[in-house]
Amino acid sequence: MSEPYTYPRKGSIDDPLRIAVLISGSGSGLLSLLKHQQSNQCPHVTKLIISDNVNAGGLHHGGIFEISTAAIPLPRSSDKNQQRTLHENLIHEKLINSKIELIVLSGYMRILTSVFVKKWKGRIINIHPSLLPKYPGAHAHRDALADGAEITGCTVHLVDEGVDTGEIIAQEEVPILEGDTVEKLQERVKRIEHQLYPKVLDDFCS
């Protein structure tokens, strides 16, 4: 039986919700969020950046914006399940110690285990580059093009125990153009993601 969502408290400008952003790469979505928070009075504030990749370019945004960062790579283990559990325990401990209230996934390329999700369910939010439930998983753009779709987009959703199956919060459409490649489509969808995600977080946190 699926666990119910437990939502975070409502943030305010005077008492913003404490966010941790989880990334795996360049952090372009993270940068858009940080610029949004810097330029607007938001009911949320980024207090921690975590990456599973010690070489993630997005970690340097922490220094620029004076935000704590943590690179937490997978521990060495021959047991893959144990490895994931140990890794997520380290992340969970860091989140608790930093008094984090909401986890924002932004280009985080690891699938979270149901054990971790249950601890934070209703307090993990993700953006996916398709109009869910269409084209879940890691190859949404490829799948949309292969399907001959004329419209795709992006979806902000809560994370549950499945893969891209959580409660949908907001979506925005992006047309697929003649001659589109995965790379071209990815860039156009990414631009919309960077606009949509901060606005949805404003609404979700207030």
In whole angstroms, give the CA distance from residue 33 to residue 153. Answer: 19
Catalytic residue among 36, 44, 87, 128: 128
Contact 202, 42 (CB under 8 A): yes
Annotation says 128 is catalytic? yes
H helices within 17-113, ranges in order? 28-39, 60-65, 80-97
Residue numbers annotated as active site: 128
